[in-house]
A and B are shown apart, each in its own frame.
Chain A
Amino acid sequence: MARKEYAFYPGCSSQKGASASNYLVSVESMCKTLDIKMTEIPDWNCCGASVSYAESGELPRHVMNARNFALSEQNLPGQTIVATCAACWLGARESKERLEHSSGLMADTQAALKEAGLNIKVIPEIKHMVEVLIEDLGYDELKKPVKKPLDGMKFAGYVGCQTNRPFGIANESFENPMYLDRLIETVGGEAVPYDQKVTCCGGALAFSEPEKAQAQIKDIIESAYDSGAEMLVTPCPLCQANTEVYQGQINKKYGTKFNMPVLYYSQLMTLAYGGSAKEAGLKGNVIRATKLEQFAG
C-alpha cells in the first residue's frame, strides 16, 4: 500500500495533448518517488474556471463541481480530492464552501445532481498538490529522496494568484508567500528574491485582451531577470503557459530579448530525485530548459 492515497482531479489542461500535459508527466514521476497513489476521479468534469462567470451563473457552476464531489465520494470514499491546477482547486474549494454554508444552494444542487443519477452525502476535503507536499509530507520528507541537488541554479519562484488567493496555503502570507522558495531550496536550488512573485499573469485576459496580460507578463519576466534568475518556477498551469508562450510576442512588441524557461515545481523535484528529462516532462517546455536537460543527462 502506498504511503498516501488521494482522489486525483487532473483538470482539462493536464490531459494528454493539452497545454499542461507535461505538468501531469512530472507530477506522476514525483508521486512515484514519494510513494503517493493518485487515483483519477472517474469521468470528472471541468470546474468551469473563473472566467465562465458571466455565462455560467451561480448554481450551474457549483453543480459542475458538485458532480466531481459526488463521483469522488461514490468511487473513492473517504479520500481527499487533490487538484494540480490552481483554477480547479479554487473552483472546487469555493463550491465546497458555498454548498456547506447554504442549505438552499445545497438542496438545489442535489435536485440538479439527481438528473444525472448522483447525490452528495459528504463533500470530500480538497487540496492542491502543493498542500499534499508541504502539509501531508513536509519539507523533510521531500528532501530525503533528493539524489541530485540542483546546485548553483537560480530560480524565481512565481507563485502568481490562484494558488495564493483567496484561499492560499496555510500559514503563508498573501503578499509574500515563502512555500515555493522553500520547495526550490529543498531540492538544492537557489530561490532569488524578486518583486513580482505574486503579480497576476493576466489569467484568461491573455486570450481576450492580450495587450493587457502581456504588459503584466513583461513585468514578471523582467523582474526575474533583474534578480539574476535563470528560470521561472510555478505551481499553476495558466501562469506557466502565459509566462512562457507569450515571451516571443512581448519581445516583438517591447524589443526585449526574453528567453526564460518556465518550469513546474514538480519538474524540479523529479530531476532532483534522479528522474530523466522525459520523466520530468522537459520536452513539453516550449522555451527549452537547456541547463536542466544537460543536468538530467
Chain B
Amino acid sequence: MSNLNEQMADRYKNNFLKEIEEQAEMGEWVKMCMQCGLCSGSCPTHFHSGWDHPPQEIFMLIRAGKREEVLNSQGMYMCTSCYNCYVRCPRKVPVTHVMHGIAEYAYRIGRAPKAQPTLHLSKTFWTNATKYGRVNEVQLTQSLYFKDGIGSGIKKAMEMQKEALGLVMAGRLNPMEALGMGHKCKDVSGIHKMLAKAEELEAKNKAAKADTAGKE
C-alpha cells in the first residue's frame, strides 16, 4: 500500500462513502443512485469483456465500504465518455464524471489497476497536451504503440502502416511532428506555471478535507 493510500484510509476511518464524496470529483452524487441499472445498460462497452463492475455496482460497492474492490476495478476505465448514462440517469447523477472522478482518485493514491491501457492513454494524452499546450498527434501515437516495448511497438506500427500512409497522403498526418516540429503555444512557460499552481491548489484543498475528516 502506498503512503497516500494508507493515510486516506486512516483519515476516513474506513468510511469509504465519505472518502469518495470528499476526494473524488462529483463523488457527492454517489448516494443519489437508486440502483436501477440504466447506466450499465446504456454503456456501449458493457457488451465487451473486462467489465468487472458496471457503474451501478461501483455505486453500491462504495456504499458497502468495499474499498479495495472499487479502487482496483477496471470498470471506470471502460468509459468512452459517450455520456449515454449521464443523460439517461433518472436521478440526474452525472455518471460519466463520477466514473472519471473515482478513476482519478484511485490513480492519485496509487491504487489503480496496473497496466490499464486507457489509464495509460489518459496519462499520455495529458502529458502530451500540456507539454507544449497543444496535442502532438504523432508523438501521442508513438508513445501509445511503444508502451509495451520496442518489439510490440514495431508490430503495432506495422499493422497500422496502411492506415498511417493513407493519413499522410491525405495531409492529415505530418511525420515531421515525430521530431517535435508539431504545433505549439507561444506562452508555454505561462501554461506550465499556471498548471503547477492549479495542481498545488487542488492538492491543498483535498488534503484539507482529509485532515478535517481525520479530526472528527
Q: Is A103 an interface residue (CB 8 A)?
A: no
The A33-48 residues at the B interface (CB cut-off 8 A) are: 43-46, 48
The B108-159 residues at the A interface (CB cut-off 8 A) are: 108, 112, 117-123, 125-127, 129-130, 133-135, 137, 141, 144, 159
The B154-213 residues at the A interface (CB cut-off 8 A) are: 159-160, 162-163, 166-167, 169-174, 176-177, 183, 185-187, 190-191, 193-199, 201-202, 205
Q: Is the CB of B118 within 8 A of A204?
A: yes
Tell me the bound Cα distance from A48 to B163 in angstroms: 25
Q: Is A140 an interface residue (CB 8 A)?
A: no
Q: Is A255 an interface residue (CB 8 A)?
A: no
Q: Is the CB of B126 within 8 A of A52?
A: yes
List residues of chain A with CB within 8 A of the CB of B198. Answer: 59-60, 63, 108-109, 112
List residues of chain A with CB within 8 A of the CB of B121. Answer: 51, 204, 207-208
Closest beta carbon of chain A to B141's beta carbon, Å: 8
Closest beta carbon of chain A to B99's beta carbon, Å: 9
Closest to A46 in B: B129
List residues of chain A with CB within 8 A of the CB of B195. Answer: 60, 63-64, 112
Q: Is the CB of A165 within 8 A of B183?
A: no
Known: A50-B81, A54-B112, A207-B121. A116 touches B191 (CB 8 A): yes
Q: Is the CB of A115 within 8 A of B196?
A: yes
Query: Of B86, B127, B191, B193, which one neighbours A55 at CB under 8 angstroms?
Result: B127
Q: Is B80 an interface residue (CB 8 A)?
A: yes
Most chain-A CB neighbours within 10 Å: which of B84, B196, B198? B198
Q: Is B72 an interface residue (CB 8 A)?
A: no
Q: Is A74 an interface residue (CB 8 A)?
A: no
List residues of chain B with CB within 8 A of the CB of A60. Answer: 130, 195, 198-199, 202
List residues of chain B with CB within 8 A of the CB of A20. Answer: 172
Q: Is A256 an interface residue (CB 8 A)?
A: no
Q: Is the CB of A52 within 8 A of B118?
A: no
Known: A18-B183, A46-B133, A52-B129. A284 touches B194 (CB 8 A): no
Q: Is the CB of B117 within 8 A of A208?
A: yes
Q: Is B90 an interface residue (CB 8 A)?
A: no
Q: Is B29 an interface residue (CB 8 A)?
A: no
Tell me the bound Cα distance from A211 to B172 in angstroms: 23
Q: Is B87 an interface residue (CB 8 A)?
A: yes
Query: Of B45, B173, B201, which one neighbours A111 at CB under 8 angstroms?
Result: B201
List residues of chain B with CB within 8 A of the CB of A213. Answer: 80
Query: Of A12, A15, A199, A249, which one neighbours B129 at CB under 8 angstroms?
Result: A12
Q: Is A283 an interface residue (CB 8 A)?
A: yes
Interface 0/1 of B24-50, CB less than 8 Å to A: 010000000000000000001101100
List residues of chain B with CB within 8 A of the CB of A297. Answer: none
Tell me the bound Cα distance from A207 to B169 in angstroms: 21
Tell me the bound Cα distance from A211 to B159 in angstroms: 14
List residues of chain B with CB within 8 A of the CB of A116. Answer: 187, 190-191, 193-194
Q: Is the CB of B201 within 8 A of A112?
A: yes
Q: Is the CB of B170 within 8 A of A286?
A: yes
Q: Is A117 an interface residue (CB 8 A)?
A: yes
Query: Of A49, A203, A249, which one neighbours B82 at CB under 8 angstroms?
Result: A203
Query: Of A45, A165, A202, A285, which one neighbours B133 at CB under 8 angstroms?
Result: A45
Query: Of B86, B160, B201, which one neighbours A165 at CB under 8 angstroms?
Result: B86
Most chain-A CB neighbours within 10 Å: which of B123, B126, B205? B126
List residues of chain A with CB within 8 A of the CB of B103. Answer: 53-54
Tell me the bound Cα distance from A168 to B119 in angstroms: 27
Closest beta carbon of chain A to B196's beta carbon, Å: 7
Closest to B160 in A: A249
Query: Of B78, B84, B118, B194, which one neighbours A63 at CB under 8 angstroms?
Result: B194
List residues of chain A with CB within 8 A of the CB of B167. Answer: 19, 245, 286
List residues of chain A with CB within 8 A of the CB of B19. Answer: none
Closest to B86 in A: A166
Known: A57-B199, A165-B87, A248-B163. A208 touches B120 (CB 8 A): yes
Tell me the bound Cα distance from A63 to B190 in angstroms: 12
- A selection of 13 A-B contacts at a CB cut-off of 8 Å is A12-B129, A56-B104, A59-B199, A60-B198, A63-B194, A109-B198, A118-B194, A165-B87, A205-B118, A208-B121, A213-B80, A286-B163, A286-B170
